[in-house]
Amino acid sequence: MISTFPSTHHPVTTPPAQVEQDETFPALPEPLLFPVGFSDRAWHTGALYEAYSRLVSPEGYDQFHESCFVAMLSILSLRRVRVPLGKRFYTPLMMILMAEPGTFKKTTTTDVLAQVMEAAQLDWILQSVKSTPQSLIHEMSGAVPKNYGEMNDFAQHFEKQRLAFAGQRGLVAGEFGQFVKSMMRESGPNTEFQSLLLEMDDCKAIYDTGTLSRGKEIIQKPFLSLIGCMTPTNVRILAKKDAELYGNGFWSRIAVICPPEGTGEDSPFDDVDEDIPSELINNLVAWHRRLGIPSCEVEQVYEANKKGESVPVDGKFKAVAEELPEVIVSFGVGVKEAWKQYRSAIKAIANTQLEYKDLRGNYDRLATKAMRIAALLASLENNNRVELWHWAKAQEICERWRVSLHELYRQSNTTYTPGTQVDELLLETVKLFQSEGKKPTVREMQQRIWKLKHQSAKKLMDLLKQLQRDDTIVIENIGKAVRYSLPVPKVETVEIEASFEE
């Protein structure tokens, strides 16, 4: 039986996190709920961020704004915030914003995160998601660019900042669906990302790998947080019942924020010329400095020549950085007990009430995600002490994520009905035409499929453009018509490395 919180708290009112759910969603026991407004004092800087994000992206889904702020804190923490609940309990978070193209403005909303980090001059933390896993590992191992000696002072300063946190990175991926699809190809160049992302979330002391051509590469104190955007088309394949990504632990480590269908906002954009709130920027910069910034110097590499003289090696440098600092959060009254109660309740729900067995892994990691969020909020605004209101806010966010998880699973495993999953129907229609040796126009698809007949042609073209960005559809201008087809399957090539001995 779940015990109640200390008598100084009265968790009797359903918080804003709780929304109306269907019968497949097991509700959290009432004694674990907090009063409305109890968690507000944990969200001062978060409120500043949300207000600005809503101004820039008024049609963004409500939970996109708060999740982007949490993702930004996780990225900025750079493995410097530790929770005393295990040797490797740090604060990485991975999350995906999922919505149909043109709805909920997921990319516009994530752009705010990048803009805020740029304004704080902390955008050097962000890594391009277009990197191959091999290049990412190479950079995170502390490799100094060969052209370092040719850089100007500003560029060298920027590079030293990056090298001081070489093993810690953040990813903001506007087209994460395409990235995951490439990751799932067994012989593709991004396959290694599967194991890399899983191990980064575990925060092991080192991550080491090596090949014959690159040699052994070691990442010290690896840390990777990410936030990406996906469309329902991407997710339906990857999150359907019994999908591989449930079994290997990938989905359990990722929070998916998925709006209910048909709940988009209609809020035309105004010209936004307001600056990012200075208090928001100042709070983030001050936090980054409090967590500690290791110094880093870059040294020329020397080797002995045939005469035994030490000479510089062209284009070869090494970085010498201080130890990565870390702060350890402490717990206020009732926090650890609240975490235990939530953890036990979620596990009990997963074992006895959860209809979808694929989601058990996600449930198992919810309490860990919540404690990571609570630690980030407490470190940002409360001198690294987690109070019950920080935990309350973290639990509310994770409960919203739990609702989204069920929505994702429902949308990924529901057959087509009129007015929903139009992108999937478009894909099937193009397949139908292609089986007949034809490349249809939008008009021809509407004439053939009655479920598309009453859809706006502009909406259909927007959806098809998104499918093109996901490498699912090819768009061609043939004569005066725009026609659509399926891409020709790519033949993956595998680089074979070899070494030769004389």
Tens digits of residue pLDDT in 89-106: 999 999 999 887 766 788
pLDDT of 455 above 90: no
Please check whether residue 237 is in contact with residue 13, taking contact to mean a CB–CB distance below 8 angstroms: no
Please check whether residue 393 is in contact with residue 381, taking contact to mean a CB–CB distance below 8 angstroms: no
CA distance 213 to 209: 12
Please check whether residue 70 is in contact with residue 393, taking contact to mean a CB–CB distance below 8 angstroms: no
pLDDT of 325 above 90: yes
Q: Average pLDDT for residues 285-290, to the nearest whole number?
A: 98
Question: Would you give the distance in Å from CA 145 to the centre of its chain?
Answer: 27
Query: What percent of the chain is modeled with pLDDT above 70?
Result: 83
Identity of the residue numbered 35? P
pTM of the model: 0.78
Give me the pLDDT at residue 395, please.
98
Helix (H, G, I), strand (E, B) or coil at 393: helix
CA distance 299 to 341: 52
Give me the pLDDT at residue 375, please.
98
Query: Residue 295 class from Cβ within 10 Å (0-12 exposed, 13-18 middle, 19+ buried)?
Result: exposed
CA distance 79 to 268: 39
Q: What is the pLDDT of residues 331-378, one digit of tens each?
A: 999 999 999 999 999 999 999 988 888 899 999 999 999 999 999 999
First-to-last alpha carbon distance for the chain, in angstroms, is 71
Question: Would you give the distance in Å from CA 302 to the centre of its chain?
Answer: 41
- Pseudo-torsion of CA 334, 335, 338, 344, nearest 10°? -130
pLDDT of 19 above 50: no
Averaged pLDDT of the chain:
83
Please give the DSSP secondary-structure letter assigned to residue 150.
G
Question: Residue 285 — very low, low, confident or very high, per pLDDT cuts 50/70/90?
Answer: very high
**Integer angstrom CA distances of residue 387 from 223, 290, 381:** 25, 19, 11
CA distance 347 to 349: 5
DSSP bridge partners of 331: 386
CA distance 83 to 81: 7
Identity of the residue numbered 244? E
φ and ψ of 305, to 5 deg = -85, -170
Signed CA dihedral, 262, 109, 72, 296: sign only: positive
Q: What is the pLDDT of residues 134-159, one digit of tens each?
A: 888 888 899 999 999 999 999 999 99
Question: Residue 384 — very low, low, confident or very high, per pLDDT cuts 50/70/90?
Answer: very high
Give me the pLDDT at residue 243, please.
72
Query: Residue 222 class from Cβ within 10 Å (0-12 exposed, 13-18 middle, 19+ buried)?
Result: buried
CA distance 103 to 109: 11
The Cβ of residue 452 has, within 10 Å, a number of other Cβ atoms equal to 18
CA distance 14 to 46: 21
Q: Average pLDDT for residues 389-414, to the nearest whole number?
A: 90
Q: What is the pLDDT of residues 60-95, one digit of tens each?
A: 999 999 999 999 999 999 999 999 998 789 999 999
Q: Average pLDDT for residues 227-233, to the nearest whole number?
A: 81
pLDDT of 327 above 90: yes
What would the DSSP string read from start to end of 56-88? H-TTS-HHHHHHHHHHHHHHHHTT-EE-SSSTT
CA distance 342 to 353: 15
Give me the pLDDT at residue 193, please.
77
pLDDT of 185 above 80: no
Q: What is the pLDDT of residues 233-278, one digit of tens each?
A: 666 666 777 777 777 777 888 898 988 876 655 555 555 567 899 9
Closest CA to 206 of 166, 167, 163: 167
pLDDT of 495 above 70: no
Please give the DSSP secondary-structure letter assigned to residue 264.
-
Helix (H, G, I), strand (E, B) or coil at 314: strand
CA distance 360 to 378: 29
User: Where would I find the beta strands (DSSP E) of 165-290?
Assistant: 168-173, 206-211, 215-220, 223-230, 254-257
Closest CA to 222 of 258, 198, 241, 194: 198
CA distance 187 to 182: 10
pLDDT of 176 above 70: yes
CA distance 176 to 239: 14
CA distance 258 to 497: 42
Which H or E element spans position 112?
A: helix 106-119
Higher pLDDT, 301 or 189: 301
Angle of helix 106-119 relative to helix 278-291, nearest 10 degrees? 70
Give me the pLDDT at residue 492, please.
42
